Amino acid sequence: MNPSAPDLPLRHDEAIARAALLDVLGYDLDLDLTTGAETFLSRTVLRFRGKAAGRTFVDLKPVSVASITLDGSEVDVDLLDRGRLPLDVTEGEHELVVRSVMRYRNDGEGLHRSVDPADGRHYVYGMSFMDAAPSVFACFDQPDLKAPYTVRVHAPQDWIVRGNGRAEEVEPGVWQLATTPPLATYFVTVVAGPYHLVGTEHDGIALSLSAKQSLTGRLEEQAEDILRVTGQSFDELHRLFGVRYAFGDYHQAFVPEFNAGAMENPGCVTIRDTLVFSGRPSRAELVWRAALIAHEMAHQWFGDLVTPRWWDDLWLNESFAEYLGNRVAAEATEFSDAWVEVAYGRRQWGLTADLRTSTHPVAGNGAVDAPSALQDFDGISYAKGSSILAQLDATLGDEAFFGGVRTLFEQRRFGTIELADVVAAWEQASGRDLGATVQQWLRTSGPDVLELDRGAGVLRRTPPAHDPQADRPHRFTIARATGAGWRFEDVVLDSPQAPLEIGADDVVVLDPRFDTWASTLIDDTSVRGLVDLLPGVEDELLRAAVWNNVRSSVHQGRLDPALAVDLAEASFPVEDTGATGRRTLAWVLEWLLPLAPAGSRERLHRAVRTILDAAEPGSERQLSAFRAAVATATDAADLRGWLTAAPAGIAIDTEQRWKLLVRLATLGAVEVAELDAALEAERTDAAVVEHTRARASLPTAEAKEYAWARFTGAVEVPNYELEAAGLGMWRGGQESVTDPYVERYFAELPATAAVRSGWVLALAAEQFFPASSVTPATLALAERLRDDPELPGPLRRRVSDAVDDLARRLMILQRYPR
């Protein structure tokens, strides 16, 4: 056993060989969480059948191993090497028993343990996704070796326990979880701690929620809305799928320091507890939560009931859940505007990923191992795949689309699938050959570019530069504004160009209903016309389409950022200032303003203040305008004034207070002592994270060293604090204190692989990249590191994406000097 050597990732060829050699019959797990705050005891009884004699291995990542037996005979624990225990298997049934000490983690993976700063209580949850399960129990860790699980948990007597099977406290502090249907290893979870519970029942399914004790009041206030969305989503998914939910009780655990939005563990979904909102939520945030709830519920069928055989078909999980989650939220809940939220919050995420050199097909991305697959867990797998599924559904019709899906659920129940299985089911249900559709849309990477050539009077379709033979037909609408108002026209573009009669001053917006997947551009004449027209546009999808066209055009260097600022000044997208980082306000702040002429931030702030002053107190528009006003403020006196007396209708709750303090910190208008005092006055987990962001945002050498110590691992912090430090580190206008860290980033990034792994390793690389240093010298350093063959894959992917973004910014600045 060599604890210092890095664990070996599971390769696809190894997974194929292992699946051919054995079947897994079941797991009995016993987890003892009473032994301290650093480690826990794990006992695994793993029963499997050898199909033939051969050599394989079990995945295990312990602190130490007490004993291992195979069929009652001792196995040398020192055989464990880099996360693998070799096994010689004979034909027939076997039983492996492993007793080990495991480490709690604080990076959102494995068995994560956190301490609530509000009251000092400890909370635990399991996140076994991708390759984290072996840090909890011994297993054959690959998605196609599904098996039933029986779990027993020993916990402090004031804790409650939930998991994939119904939990019963059989004696004080001892919980027995009901045996599950066959699950993939990456779905196995346990949620344990002094959580507050809320429960009800819907259509014969026991529904429950849990969150930390410090969130009790907020969970109780929001539970009715969450459970209503859950019940409505179950009804609609049962109607669409025609197959009942298969995993017993349905528990949604709102847990701290969670990396993703949520995880679809069958019967026990884990969700980041920031979605139990600490302040007044915007409409966008409520829509996002509803769609996320429905997304994870859709996974109970696509992902859980039928599971991708290997990670290269991860899209079968995420694209389906993304499409169904948004559709169900829009059609079955009060959030009929869910597709507007998708248009603002998700589409550009997918398009940006699809335009990078790291683009990959939606399906069959060829992941050679599990960590490589994690790098493709991106906007292509979610947003692009969802868009293409919506196109397929529109083409086939619901009867054939869901008819094929039902066939899969019935024939592969608790089994595994791959792309060919899904396509065959659709072809059988529809009577159509989908070969060309699959090849062009699911197996071809990169988006086409659609644009109006006003001078030539044509619509143009340009395929991706890396695949000029791509020949994808597009069916969509255009919105045209003339003197007579707006009208919508259907368009089929199945050749490189098609004629379009256009008036000299007509304003044209491409694909305002998001019917196709493409990077749609907007011409200068249309943008100039929209300066007058957009303030009067009430069609929410059309407004979203305008901003998608503008964003894509700026990104590709086809629209002067100054024109985009003119449009934002005339009609600032305050309808799109929700908390998610992919929305238009974040783009304006992080992308547009650094590329725009001097004084643009002040212009936009004045425009937002006009909206704020005119908004009805307490309205959604007022809340959104206030958030935008804080984010664009350059006068510390304004921010100080709002801290003392906010506009009527705005409550300065925890969330708004820290938004003000972070902005003051960025301007250098607050001292560390004041930030510390604000934290001590209300020491919640959200306040701790925002305090870190504010400290790192200060324009001082001490602040940047504070952030850097978290990047290098010299100071260990949980995942949310690490991310906040990175986001605060590189603030525009602070180059005098950040420039010394530019070369240090590229020199010291590789060593971070020794202090963190998985999701958080890549996240830190992305958030600490010197994005505010938009210079050719920084680009050269980034390219050199990207091309270093010794750089670990997760780091290379994040650096590669940052290189693309930086090169794009430099191209825009060269084309449109400020």
What pLDDT is stored for residue 1 in this prediction?
55
Mean per-residue pLDDT, 776-784: 98
Catalytic annotation, pick one of 296, 322, 451, 721: 296
For 487-541, how does the pLDDT look when each residue is reduced to its tens digit (9 = 90+)? 999 999 999 999 999 999 999 999 999 999 999 999 999 999 999 999 999 999 9
Q: Which residue has the higher pLDDT, 232 or 365?
A: 232
Angle, helices 620-632 vs 636-644, to 10°: value is 140
Mean per-residue pLDDT, 379-403: 96
What pLDDT is stored for residue 576 in this prediction?
81
> Cα separation of 147 and 178, whole Å?
14
Query: Is pLDDT of 91 > 60?
Result: yes
> Cα separation of 634 and 736, whole Å?
19
Percentage above 70 pLDDT, the chain: 99
Mean per-residue pLDDT, 3-16: 86
Place of tokens 């988006």: 447
What pLDDT is stored for residue 43 in this prediction?
98
What pLDDT is stored for residue 643 in this prediction?
95
The beta-strand segments (E) located in 71-178 are 73-74, 84-89, 92-103, 110-115, 122-127, 149-154, 160-163, 167-171, 174-177
Query: Is pLDDT of 2 > 60?
Result: no
What pLDDT is stored for residue 63 in this prediction?
97
Place of tokens 């000044």: 569
For 172-190, how does the pLDDT look when each residue is reduced to its tens digit (9 = 90+)? 999 999 999 999 999 999 9
How would you classify residue 95: left for phi > 0, otherwise alpha for psi between -120 and 50, otherwise beta?
beta
Domains of the chain, first to last: 1-194 (2.60.40.1730), 195-443 (1.10.390.10), 448-516+518-571 (no CATH)
For 535-550, how does the pLDDT look when each residue is reduced to its tens digit (9 = 90+)? 999 999 999 999 999 9
How would you classify residue 262: left for phi > 0, otherwise alpha for psi between -120 and 50, otherwise beta?
beta
* Confidence band for 258, pLDDT divided at 50, 70 and 90: very high
What pLDDT is stored for residue 575 in this prediction?
85
Query: Is pLDDT of 35 > 70?
Result: yes
Q: Which of 467, 489, 552, 550 shows the shortest CA–CA distance to 518? A: 552
Query: Is pLDDT of 580 > 80?
Result: no
* Confidence band for 364, pLDDT divided at 50, 70 and 90: confident
Q: What is the mean pLDDT of the chain?
A: 95
In this prediction the pTM is 0.96
Strand order in the sheet with 250-255: 196-202, 205-211, 250-255, 268-272, 262-263
Query: Is pLDDT of 374 > 90?
Result: no
Contact, 195 vs 251, CB < 8 A?
Answer: no
Active-site residue flag, 296:
yes
For 108-140, how does the pLDDT look when each residue is reduced to its tens digit (9 = 90+)? 999 999 999 999 999 999 999 989 999 999 999
What pLDDT is stored for residue 582 in this prediction?
67
> Cα separation of 234 and 534, whole Å?
38
Query: Is pLDDT of 583 > 90?
Result: no
Which residue type does 54 have?
A: G
Which residue type does 805 have?
A: D
For 716-767, how does the pLDDT look when each residue is reduced to its tens digit (9 = 90+)? 999 999 999 999 999 999 999 999 999 999 999 999 999 998 889 999 999 9
Contact, 139 vs 185, CB < 8 A?
Answer: yes
Contact, 442 vs 363, CB < 8 A?
Answer: yes
Structure tokens at 260: 């993703």
The DSSP H or E segment spanning 64 is strand 64-70
For 793-811, how does the pLDDT look when each residue is reduced to its tens digit (9 = 90+)? 889 999 999 999 999 999 9
What pLDDT is stored for residue 485 in this prediction?
86
For 282-306, how does the pLDDT look when each residue is reduced to its tens digit (9 = 90+)? 888 999 999 999 999 999 999 999 9
> Cα separation of 93 and 802, whole Å?
50
> Cα separation of 45 and 70, whole Å?
10
Mean per-residue pLDDT, 403-420: 96
Q: Which of 485, 482, 539 shows the shortest CA–CA distance to 514? A: 539
Query: Is pLDDT of 372 > 90?
Result: no
* Confidence band for 369, pLDDT divided at 50, 70 and 90: confident
Q: What is the DSSP letter of 281?
A: P
- Using DSSP's 3-state secondary structure scheme, residue 448 falls into coil
For 448-480, how does the pLDDT look when each residue is reduced to its tens digit (9 = 90+)? 999 999 999 999 999 999 999 899 999 999 999
* Confidence band for 377, pLDDT divided at 50, 70 and 90: confident
Query: Is pLDDT of 581 > 70?
Result: no
CA angle 581, 586, 591 (to 5 degrees): 120
> Cα separation of 712 and 744, whole Å?
10
Mean per-residue pLDDT, 220-247: 98
